A and B are shown apart, each in its own frame.
Chain A
Amino acid sequence: MASKQADLLITNARLFCPASQLDGLGWLAVAEGRIAGLGSGQPDKGLKAGRLVDGGGKLLLPGLVDMRVQASDPGAEHLESLEALLRAAAAGGVTSLATLPATLPVIDNSAMIDSISLRASRLVGPRLFCLGALTQGLEGQRMAELGMMAKAGARGFASHLTSVADSQLMRRILTYAAMLERPVIHHCADPALSAEGEMHEGETATRLGLIGIPAAAETIVLERDLALVRLTGATYHAGHVSTAGSVAALRRAKQEGLKVTADTAPPWFLLNEMAVPGFDTAFRLDPPLRSEADRLAVIDGLADGTIDAIASDHRAINPDHKKQPFGMASPGAAGIETLLPLSLALVSGGAVSLERVVQCLTAGPAAILGLETGQLALGKPADMILLDSETGWVIRSADFITPSLSTPFEGQPVQGRVLASWVGGAQIFAMENWQ
């Protein structure tokens, strides 16, 4: 490196970055918030650092980019304040997150983005980006002020848990968002097929007397959207993909050359509908937990690059709204603190390579949102995490930063603990008793 003075120097760490094709013991230096040097072995003896960290041979990864988080603040900050969300994210190894627009009020104008961004900037934690609402009030009727929101920093535009049903409106949103060079991020669920639904449609739903949501509810909207992407040339992203039909449709669209990406989240590659008997509302999710064939197809999609990102789909649900009969409970779960170890379960299971999983957690979503993070490379923002990938632990919601939040992975043994997280070279998290 040019200057011989770094703010932070991490040595003796296994630098691992799929985007930079890095995997080896080495060092990384940070100056002025950016990666100022990195290499294998030991750094030049002349390199001085304000702070020196011994990586202890652990993995040094780009910080996670969680592109699908629903902040509860403003509107339901009693469930999870912005401060708590950012602390939870930092503990989970997330250094950039994008919040969905379903706050109260809805993020459907530039003032909301200004307000949330300003508040986040005053807090220690990951970088926070906003996804603006596709439609005013998320009502699916009129286009929101996408241009103003893009100027205010919106990294994309998203729906809530309702698809835009009007194809003409969706076409115009796609066309307009393409002009703004922002992706349209859609929750695909045909409202008529899914509105009353309680779980995945099939034999299990019939046994339990719960109303089914067919896999086609997702695929119908996705296939329509893909036809509109073909028509408009827009950039499109399918959120939390859960079905084999969707994976197949996305695969075809990518082969065709459409500008299409997708994410999924741990529930849809680790669990299936067989979790539901017992009526435990922790498993009430939207989209619902699908069949085993769907789950395996989602894993295939992650492995072969059809699905580009793994997100947490983190959502704080009022605990009272979970203490209900299954069908009456609010769908959703916390996930930001468990995103990394649950994703690593794909690696230990042999289903997906570590490279792919890390790619899907870092550079994959960063590219979708147009962020320069997600990569360990010279000049990039110094957003990274130190990971102990060996240590096992058990997921307990009581240990979450917001302990009242529900998880479908309660009691699940996992491997991989974040030891420390940095954003722009500033430490935003360190595990207790670490250094």
Chain B
Amino acid sequence: MTKTGSTPTAATLSDRHLLGIQGLAVAEITALLERASYFADHPRQSFADILSGRTIVNLFFENSTRTRVSFEIAAKRLGAATLNIAVSGSSVKKGETLIDTATTLNAMHPDILVIRHFASGAPLLLSQHIQAAVINAGDGRHEHPTQALLDALTIQRELGRIAGLKVAICGDVANSRVARSNLWLLGALGADLRFVSPATLTPPGLADMEVPVYHNLEDGISGCDIVMMLRLQTERMEGQETPSQHEYHKLFGLNQQSLNRAAPHALIMHPGPMNRGVEIDSAIADDHEKSLIQRQVEMGVAVRMACLEALAEGLA
């Protein structure tokens, strides 16, 4: 990101929740990225006054380590008190509805609720029944807005821009909320996007959105500046999408040979956690010259700080 010299102020959002990239204006995205970049530039500075006295609840209905920890660190750096609630899928089915959970939490007066849920649209439902501001930390196959924001921030800080960059999003697009949020976000910022995925993992209607879809990895990433590999979401799959992980690796796994088709300066991204040896070769994932994967994790904290701060701005 180009430094302007002046310190960017807290981003403000028109909605009191952050439920998805769809619904954000470009100016809001830009403001979040600028503020996040400032946080990233000042990793040792204390910002503990920003959310001092605020309570943030991380409500996770799906296993997650990196996203939850990232939100927790972001909240702590802003001075908020945090509480993690992990709800396993089985106890959800025992009867308490998401709205019951919301009502219970409401009584405890959290300021911001960070929710991850396996059902698309769950954060929206929660937001309709809770006083706290809600951040979507990933819902089903729908959206993962902070991931897309951190991806954008990573790209912008590495390459100085997003507009006009050729970005290939590769792999299990059908089951990926990361792919969808990035489609909305990188698309809004003017990236030249394409998807690369097996036909069985390409969601219907993608072609109607006028985004090129390739079924051949080498053709798809040809000349691309950014190659974003997605995790094969085996837990969302029914065993019919690909013949085997072995074949998936052969046809759609990123290795040095296929990477040679991308632009010479191409950078590799992955939202994690990786299936090494399935969608990506370890050698490439660990190549610090080309891989932005660690940088993405680092930017995650900065982006989540900017998002939490922006929502706190909207709190009474």
Contacts and interface: CB of A to CB of B under 8 A. Distances in A.
Given A196-B238, A326-B119, A279 B124 contact: yes
Interface stretch (A10-18, A64-72, A205-213, A297-305): A205-213
A325 B205 contact: no
B205 A324 contact: no
B204 A326 contact: no
B190 interface: no
Contacts of A207: 22, 180, 205
Given A202-B204, A323-B97, A325-B117, A210 B125 contact: no
A204 B205 contact: yes
A157 to B, nearest CB: 32
B98 interface: yes
B172 interface: no
A153 interface: no
A320 interface: yes
A196 to B, nearest CB: 7
Contacts of A211: 141
Chain A, interface SS category: loop
B142 interface: yes
B43 interface: no
B96 to A, nearest CB: 10
A206 B206 contact: yes
Interface string B244-257: 00000000000000
Contacts of B177: 209
A274 interface: no
Contacts of B141: 209-211
A7 B122 CA distance: 58
B209 interface: yes
Nearest to B123: A325
B120 interface: yes
B73 interface: no
Interface in A189-240: 196, 198, 201-212, 214
B122 A202 contact: no
Given A210-B141, A320-B97, A205 B122 contact: no
Nearest to B177: A209
A206 B120 contact: no
Contacts of B238: 196
Contacts of A202: 204-205, 208
A205 B204 contact: yes
A166 B235 CA distance: 29
Given A208-B142, A279-B121, A203 B97 contact: no
Contacts of B53: none
A327 B120 CA distance: 7
Contacts of B209: 203, 206
Interface size classification for chain B: 20 to 34
A205 B98 CA distance: 22
A273 B22 CA distance: 18
B217 to A, nearest CB: 21
Interface residues of A, number: 24
Contacts, number: 77
A325 B120 contact: yes
Nearest to B236: A211
A326 B128 CA distance: 14
A325 B121 contact: yes
A349 B157 CA distance: 56
Contacts of A327: 119-121, 140
Contacts of A214: 204
Contacts of A204: 205
Interface string B215-257: 0000000000000000000000010000000000000000000
Contacts of B274: none
B203 A206 contact: yes
B309 interface: no
A327 B118 CA distance: 10
A213 to B, nearest CB: 11
A328 B206 contact: no
A304 to B, nearest CB: 30
Given A202-B205, A203-B205, A325 B99 contact: no
Given A209-B180, A210-B141, A279-B120, A325 B204 contact: no
Nearest to B119: A325
B142 A203 contact: no
A203 B183 CA distance: 14
A323 B99 contact: yes
Nearest to B202: A206
B98 A209 contact: no
Interface centre among B120, B121, B205 (most CB of A within 10 A): B121
Given A205-B203, A206-B204, 13 more contacts: A203-B204, A203-B209, A204-B205, A208-B120, A208-B142, A209-B180, A210-B141, A212-B203, A212-B204, A279-B124, A323-B125, A325-B122, A326-B119
Interface of A: 196, 198, 201-212, 214, 278-279, 320, 323-328
9 contacts: A201-B204, A206-B203, A207-B180, A210-B120, A279-B125, A324-B97, A324-B98, A325-B121, A325-B140
Give the 7 A-B CB pairs with smallest separation, nearest first.
A203-B205, A209-B142, A325-B119, A209-B141, A279-B121, A209-B120, A206-B203
